[in-house]
Amino acid sequence: MENLNKILRIDTSARVSDSVSRGLVDAIIEHLSAEKAVQVEKRDVSKGLPFINEDWVGANFTPPEMRTDAQASTLAQSDQLVNEIKNADTLVIGIPTYNFGVPATFKAWVDLIGRAGVTFKYTETGPVGLMEGKRAIIALASGGTPSGSEIDFVTPYVRHILGFIGITDVTFIIADAMGQQAEEKIAAAMASIKQI
């Protein structure tokens, strides 16, 4: 279909029901689908991803044409995750703040897709992202951490890692520090979705 917006939806919250980040992602996709026909691919990393290990590192740093069948198998899920990004026009990622950082499953996703020569490359002037021309919209939720504060280690990390692989058009929809006035903050976040 011409003019189709291919969306990669990534959920990271351990909560499935009553998850603020998932609810915001729902609303973002609904808003985007009102503007243009969309095709949504879903990746729920809360269900678990493997952590990289010595076998994975060895396979990753072996040239593709020299990899054994076992090494190719070791990288199969990583390849799939990378292809999901490559096939997307827009990434919509729901991220709750856990203990001042991202959920461990999101960090596992980052480790699996952060591959030299695949999603970024090294040059004489430094690393260059290879996933350019894409947009990311991040639905961020936190119970007690104010976004942009000195204890917010989520927004700068997510912006940096996406930029590192070439995605620099990043928008945050934020419902933060919901330990107080949660309903008002969720409502404000929902309202801000209409501006994207």
pLDDT 10s digits, 134-165? 999 999 999 999 999 999 999 999 999 999 99
- Here the tokens at position 138 are 């991040």
* pLDDT above 80 for 185: yes
Q: CA 156 to CA 145: how far, in whole Å?
A: 13
What are the binding residues for FMN? Answer: 13, 19-21
What are the binding residues? Answer: 13, 19-21
pTM (two decimals): 0.95
Class of the CATH domain delimited by 5-193: alpha beta
> For 69-89, what is each residue's pLDDT tens digit?
999 999 999 999 999 999 999
Q: Which of 38, 134, 118 is nearest to 83 (CA)?
A: 118
* Per-residue pLDDT at 157: 98
